[in-house]
């Protein structure tokens, strides 16, 4: 996504690790730290590469199965093998 513009405001994007809340419908199931993303420098909107989106779904799959939890679990972002996709 380098050299691309934000689809919302057309601002420049910067590669940055962010904290990302992962929702399953109305339920917050996890808060994931250090997620690689592209952040708009004007509006702050986050974009993820397709491989990161797949990895996020893999990381939270067990949390989604458990349903509503308190407190909301937090977990670091971690790369996965392509065998798991």
Evaluate whether residue 2 is within a structural domain.
no
Evaluate whether residue 65 is within a structural domain.
yes
State both tokens at 5.
Answer: 């513009």
34: domain range? Answer: 13-76
Tell me how far apart the alpha carbons of residues 74 and 77 are, in angstroms, rounded to a whole number: 10
pLDDT per residue as tens digits for the range 27-83: 788 888 999 999 999 999 999 999 999 998 888 887 777 665 555 667 778 777 656
Residue 85 pLDDT greater than 50, yes or no: no
Angle at 48 between CA 43 and CA 82, to 5 degrees: 170
Evaluate whether residue 85 is within a structural domain.
no
- Distances from the Cα of 4 to the Cαs of 11, 12, 24, 74, in angstroms? 9, 7, 29, 30
Evaluate whether residue 83 is within a structural domain.
no
pLDDT of residue 2: 66
pTM confidence score: 0.70
State both tokens at 25.
Answer: 């419908």
pLDDT per residue as tens digits for the range 12-34: 999 999 999 988 888 788 888 99
Number of domains present in the structure of the chain: 1
Evaluate whether residue 81 is within a structural domain.
no
């Amino acid at each position: 996504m380098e050299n691309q513009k934000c689809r919302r405001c057309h601002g420049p994007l910067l590669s940055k690790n962010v904290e990302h809340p992962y929702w399953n419908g109305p339920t917050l199931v996890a808060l994931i730290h250090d997620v690689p993303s592209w952040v708009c420098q004007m509006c702050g909107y986050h974009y993820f590469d397709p491989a990161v989106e797949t990895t996020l779904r893999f990381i939270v799959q067990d949390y989604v199965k458990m349903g509503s939890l308190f407190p909301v679990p937090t977990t670091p972002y971690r790369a996965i093998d392509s065998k798991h996709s």
